[in-house]
Amino acid sequence: MSRVCEYSGKRPQVGRKVVRRGKAKREGGIGQKVTGLSKRRWKPNLQKIRIVDENGTVRRVRVCARYIKAGKFTKAPRAAAKTVA
């Protein structure tokens, strides 16, 4: 299953972690030099929640936390506890 929000389309982003050495020029040094570049990923904060969609059916979706906080969904009610006879 991919790490993609079903509503906003948020997905992991790639970038680089930069490692530098030396003192910055503005601090009186000779300047910083890049000594290493390594790839890294930023993952979206996805949560699995049960929602009631526009048809009235309950389904489980993966959405980012920002959409949950914004209240863009109506969460499905929890099932009542079953009693054993």
Summarised one tens digit per residue, pLDDT across range 4-21 is 999 999 999 999 999 999
Residue 78 in any domain: the answer is: no
How buried is residue 24: exposed, middle or buried, by Cβ count under 10 Å (0-12/13-18/19+)? exposed
Please state the domain count of the chain. 1
Range of the domain at 61: 13-69
Residue 4 in any domain: the answer is: no
Query: Taking the CB of residue 4, how many other CB atoms lie within 10 A of it?
Result: 15
Average per-residue pLDDT in the chain? 91
Residue 45 in any domain: the answer is: yes
Residue 62: per-residue pLDDT: 95
Q: Which helix (H) or strand (E) holds 68?
A: helix 65-69
Residues of the chain with pLDDT under 70: 1, 81, 85
Residue 46 in any domain: the answer is: yes
Q: What distance in Å separates the CA atoms of residue 75 and residue 82, rounded to the nearest whole number? A: 21
For the whole model, what pTM was predicted? 0.67
